[in-house]
Amino acid sequence: MTALLATQPSIEPITLLTIQQLSIIPQEKVIISTLDLSLDEGDILGLVGASGCGKTTLLNAIAGFSEPSKGQIVIDGNLISDSEHSVPAEQRQVGMIFQDYALFPHLTVKENIAFGLGKLGKAEQLEQIDHLLTLLKLNDYRDSYIHQLSGGQQQRVAIARALAPKPKLLLLDEPFSNIDARLRNELMVEIRQLLKQFKMTAIFVTHNKDEVFTFADKMAVMAQGRLLQLDAPSIVCQQPNSYQVADFLQLGSWLPCQVNSASAQSLLGDFDIDNHRDKQTGLVYLLVKPSKLQLNVLVDEQHNIANAQVEHISVTEQGYHYYLSSLDDPAKDKSLAFSKLSLYSDVALSFKQQVVVSIKAHDFLFFNKVTNP
Amino acid sequence: MIALYNSKTWKLSSYLIALVLIVPVLVMLVGGVSASTQLFAHLWQTVLPSYIENTLLLAFWVVLLALFFGVFSAAIITQTNIVFKQQLRWLLLLPLAMPAYLVAYLYTDLFDYAGPVQRTLRATFGWQSPTDYWFFDIRTLPGAALMLALVLFPYIYMLTRGAFEQQDQNLIRASRLLGLTAKQSFFKVALPLARPAIAVSASLVLMETLADFATVQYFSVNTLTTAIYDTWLGYGDLGAANALASILMLLILFVVLAEQRSRAGLRHQSARPNLTRELIQLSFGQQLIASIFCWALVILGFLLPITLLIIMAVQYSDVAQLSVLFSTGLNSLKVSVFAATIAVVIALSLGLYQRLHKDKYRKIPQLISGFGYAVPGTVLAMAMLSTLGPLDHWINGLAEFLGFSAPGLILSGSLFAIVFALVVRFSAIANGTIASGIKQIPQSLDYAPATLGVNLIGSLTKVHLPILSPAILVAWLLVFVEAMKELPAVLLLRPFNFETLSSQIYQLISDEMLEQGALGAILIVLFGLLPIVLLNKSKEKV
């Protein structure tokens, strides 16, 4: 997880996109529910969420391919959609890169890029096309047809075609899902640089959080048609605002705790907490990042009493990855039992081996578990 | 995603087109139902039961024979190790190009008492009269069924072969690994899996049989189609003809519904059709029988009749024939070009309407416009006469009222009626071809132009139509060929002294003088080959 943080310019950012109270309820099924969102000019927003959460619908609403039931969308100061009227998609100056690229199979690379440039003169068109072909390293393929290109090249053409009419906002629908995993990171860095070079404001949709961490300045987490959190990726990573956000992004594993005014009780021991901020009591879940777990291999039963055992072992480039579960102890509270605590370690453990695990002191994050509402 | 466009003109014209296409048949049905009960009772007491019986018997025998020919040949070609498989694979499609009435005429000529076969037999064995020996009579109901089955079985062969070839080979492999032989696997897995395709193709054959007019007329087998023809042209009784046509329409409707029911829920699609197939290894004797079976179908259904036609053409052709051929050919061409062009324009308009318009019921116009294929040409002709006739009278009345001279039968008595009927009948073909072309355009291409600032007109002219151009060409050709071949609708609707290739050949057949039109007949067969070549090509591309 590498977070590329854009250095914020010192001048006041201009808001390019404002979405207010947007709801999309086709045939009485809520797809988007009273959603607010705003995006500054030049920012890249990563929209992440499980499939069916409404992220693609949101993208389509901005582009003009979905009809909002309520709320309004403003781009660059122009109201493009509210309950009364809706600017046709072709007049919104919103570009889009489709998941399947939607390149025209009957046109060459050059003709594809020229498609949105009908309003320009021939000379201007050629200049713009040449510029983009060079920038995207497509000069050798200008007269090729789409089926003659590789997946990566097709994506470049899609980007060039979308950028050619100079849209105010660029939408990308799962742009990297068709790219070989080995090339993906390299390509993401390259395209990010390109968008920054064009000072392009962009929104891209993905279900892969790692893409957001690499590609976006801002990230928005969606679930069931609602926006759960909108922040810089580093902030979302460190301060997720809900169980759902942390769980979807797999920021750590969950340890059930019984919390009172000043301490928390768990099967990994009790620890003091500073409970003045959240004021949560009762059964809550502690977000445990692997780095906050301390492993002690059981040496002597007299001094250390085992509190977990190994349930699954996998090998990763960062050493061993274990899933730990709590031990069956009739004396302990059943609701505190855990089954899939993630632990990374260089120490080789065996299946069902009992260990002692403790939690390092840190700024504890407790959440109420949200089951599907 | 929602569809993008909300043009009112487009919506209005789409529904109007659908309405215009369906109205004549509705008018005919109303006319049929409201025909006097007395008349119907009379028909019922006299000829109707035997006509219906003949129709059903004929349908039964044709479907049975065509299933036997089609399913077995498809199985032999796809599942066994006979030689010349690659050639037989496409040769077995050729009988489709041969109109049944031509085969009927040619075989009657060949096997009649006065024909060469019986003459030779008599000369060889010294027989003097029909009482000396038994020989089958081809001009009977079973004979007509055989003629029809010989040229219609390729429908079943084609779809069943396709089903076998599309089957997931891992299913067959699984069956083999579970202990079944290749032959057992075929009967227990492959054949049951092909059932939906067999049912669909059998219903196609059934509909073609119910629609056949010329073969049964030539063999004097009275069915509903011949009855409609005779009632109208013989007695000029529109009401009775409409009633008969309505009964035939109900039969067809029944077939269509049965076919749809049998298909419901039975979809076997495969992701792995192209794995190499394990063939059933036949013994030499079995191979011989299988080969003879397939070659017999090809020879009887195509090679022998076309040879007979060519011999006729060589023996009897002259300049006078050529000039008649030229003028009737020109008429056919005129009618077919109009019909094909109009049908394709309609198919494009309705197909793209369904794809791109916001209308909630946008599928309906296309759905309605496709029903005509199920309507036999004879029925359709009655529909045109019942609708356009009164319309003509109304127009004439109006013209006289306004002080103009009456224009005459400008709709029912002109090419308009023929072209209209052809468009109704073959719109479904154009629709199917264009719709499958549209289906192959990824949905994202509908949206991409808008994201680049291009509107509906730009999107249609720069994206959809260019991408669809191969489908447009194929659709046009298919309708063109079908229109060239269509007979009963043309026979009933043609203006006085207007002959097309097919109507002229039918006349010559009726007068037992096909020699005079052998060249034209060959031409019709050649046109019929065109869609087969196209179909085969598109199949091979996949």
Q: Give the nearest chain A residue to B448 (CA atoms).
A: A102
Same domain, A56 and A192: yes
Domain assignment present for residue A3? The answer is no
Is a pLDDT exceeding 80 seen at residue B30?
yes
Q: What is the pLDDT of residue B170?
A: 77
Q: How many CA atoms lie within 13 A of A11 on its CB side?
A: 5
Asked whether B93 and B534 are in contact (CB, 8 A), the reply is no
Query: Are A100 and A126 found together in one domain?
Result: yes
In one-letter notation, the amino acid at residue A219 is M
Query: B400-412 pLDDT, tens per residue?
Result: 888 888 788 888 8
Indicate whether A1 belongs to any domain. Answer: no
Same domain, A264 and A195: no
Helix axes B238-263, B48-79, angle to 10 degrees: 30
More confident residue, B3 or B426: B426
Q: Does residue A2 form part of some domain?
A: no
Where a domain ends, among A242, A263, A288?
A242
Indicate the pTM of the whole model. Answer: 0.80
Q: Give which of A106, A132, A157, A205 to mutate to test B binding, by max B Cβ within 10 Å.
A: A106
Nearest Cα of chain A lies from the Cα of B270 at a distance, in angstroms, of 23
* Per-residue tokens: B39: 């008349």
Distance between CA atoms of B312 and B109, rounded to whole angstroms? 12
Q: Is the pLDDT of residue B497 over 80?
A: yes
Angle, helix B319-356 to helix B415-439, in steps of 10 degrees: 50
User: Is B2 in Cβ contact with A167 (below 8 Å)?
Assistant: no
Burial bucket for residue B244 (CB in 10 Å: 0-12, 13-18, 19+)? buried
The answer to whether residue B542 scores a pLDDT higher than 50 is no
pLDDT bin (cut points 50, 70, 90) of residue B541 is very low
Does the pLDDT of residue B356 top 70, yes or no? yes
- In the chain, the amino acid numbered B393 is H
Q: What is the dihedral of CA B114, B117, B118, B123, to 10 degrees?
A: 110
Do B453 and A88 make contact, defined as CB atoms within 8 angstroms? no
Quick: pLDDT tens for B380-392: 888 888 888 888 8
| Per-residue pLDDT at A373 | 42
pLDDT, residue A304, reads 66
- pLDDT over 80 at B532, yes or no: yes
- What integer pLDDT is reported at residue A140 of this predicted model? 94
| Banded model confidence at residue B36, pLDDT cuts 50, 70, 90 | low
CB A327 within 8 A of CB A307: yes
- The residues near B309 (Cβ < 8 Å, ≥ 6 apart) are B102, B106, B518, B521, B522, B525
The predicted structure's pLDDT at residue A4:
47
pLDDT value of residue A3: 45
**Residue B417 half-sphere exposure, CB side, CA atoms within 13 Å?**
31
Instruction: Give residue ranges of B with CB < 8 Å to any A CB.
Output: 1-2, 4, 442, 444-445, 447-455, 458, 462-463, 466-467
User: Is the Cα dihedral B386, B389, B395, B401 positive or negative?
Assistant: negative
Would you say residue A153 lies in a domain? yes
In a domain, A334, yes or no: yes
Closest CA of chain B from A82, distance in Å: 17
Residues in A closer than 8 angstroms to B445, CB to CB, are 102, 104
Contacts of A164 in chain B (CB under 8 A): 452
Task: Check whether residue A89 and residue A168 sit in a common domain.
Answer: yes
d(CA B528, CA B507): 20
Q: Which residues in chain A are closer than 8 Å to B444, comparing Cβ atoms?
A: 98-102
Indicate whether A62 and A198 sit together in one domain: yes
Domain with residue A117: its CATH number is 3.40.50.300
B263 contacts B200 by C-beta, under 8 angstroms: yes
Q: Which domain holds residue A307?
A: 252-367
User: How do the pLDDT tens digits run along chain A, 373 residues long?
Assistant: 444 445 555 567 888 999 999 988 887 788 888 889 999 999 999 999 888 888 888 998 999 888 888 999 999 999 999 888 888 888 899 999 998 899 999 899 999 999 988 888 899 999 999 999 999 899 999 999 999 998 889 999 999 999 999 999 999 998 888 778 788 888 888 889 999 999 999 999 998 888 888 889 999 999 888 999 999 999 998 889 888 899 888 888 998 888 887 788 888 888 887 755 556 678 888 888 888 888 877 666 566 678 888 999 999 888 899 999 988 777 677 788 888 899 998 888 889 888 888 888 888 888 887 654 4
Residue A232 lies in a domain: yes
The dihedral built from the CA positions of residue B373, B378, B380 and B381, taken in this order, carries a sign that is positive
- How far off is chain A from B310, nearest CA to CA, in Å? 44
What number of residues does chain B have? 542
Asked if the model's pLDDT at residue B420 lies above 50, the reply is yes
Looking at the predicted structure, is the pLDDT value of residue B472 above 50?
A: yes
A164 & A284 share domain? no
**Buried (b) or exposed (e) across A207-221, using 16+ Cβ within 10 A?**
bebbbbbbbbbbbbb
* Nearest residue on chain A to B360, alpha-carbon basis: A27
Query: What are the structure tokens assigned to A358, written together?
Result: 């403790």
Q: Is A93 on the interface with B (CB under 8 A)?
A: yes
Q: Does A195 reside within a domain?
A: yes
Shared-domain flag, residues A199 and A271: no
User: Which of A90, A101, A171 is the closest to B453 by Cβ?
Assistant: A90
CB-CB under 8 Å, B442 with A88: no
Looking at the structure, do residues A178 and A106 belong to the same domain, yes or no?
A: yes
Rounded Cα gap, residues A239 and A218, in angstroms: 14
pLDDT of B129 reads: 81
Q: Give every CB contact of residue B270 below 8 A, 6+ residues apart in sequence.
A: B166, B167, B168, B169
Residue B478 pLDDT > 90, yes or no? no
The domain boundary residue, chosen from A242, A276, A300: A242
Look at residues A112, A117, A118, A115 and name the one whose alpha carbon lies nearest to residue A143: A112
Q: Is some CB atom of chain B closer than 8 A to the CB atom of A88?
A: yes
Token pair belonging to A314: 């996998």
Reported confidence tier of residue B271, pLDDT bands at 50, 70, 90 = low
What pLDDT digit, counting tens, does each position of B295-336 carry?
999 999 999 999 999 998 888 878 888 888 888 999 999 999
Total structural domains within chain A: 2
The answer on A334 and A194 residing in a single domain is no
Cβ contacts of A190 within 8 Å, gap of 6 or more: none
What is the C-alpha to C-alpha distance for residues B130 and B9, in angstroms, rounded to an integer?
A: 70
Whether residue A178 lies within 8 A of chain B, CB to CB, comes out as no
pLDDT at residue number A2: 44
- Please check whether residues A217 and A287 belong to one and the same domain: no
Backbone dihedral angles phi then psi of residue A95, each to the nearest 5 degrees: -95, 160
Does A237 lie in the same domain as A291? no
For B19-38, the three-class secondary structure string (H helix, E strand, C coil) is HHHHHHHHHHHHHHHHCCHH
Q: Which of B425, B461, B400, B410 is nearest to B343 (CA)?
A: B425
Interface test with B, best of A90, A96, A112, A166 (most B CBs within 10 A): A90
Examine the domain organization and report whether A50 and A105 are in the same domain.
Answer: yes
pLDDT, averaged across chain B: 86
Count of Cβ atoms closer than 10 Å to residue B530 Cβ: 15
How many distinct helices (H) and strands (E) make up chain B?
27, 0
Alpha carbons B542 and B527: distance in angstroms, whole number: 24
ipTM: 0.74
Query: Tell me, what's the pLDDT at A10?
Result: 54
Q: What is the pLDDT of residue B141?
A: 92
Task: Convert the pLDDT of each residue in B165-218 to its tens digit.
Answer: 888 777 877 787 887 888 888 888 888 888 888 888 898 899 889 988 989 989
Give the end of a domain, one of A187, A218, A242.
A242
A66, part of any domain:
yes
Give CA–CA dist A66/B482, Å, rounded.
42
At residue B525, the pLDDT reads 92
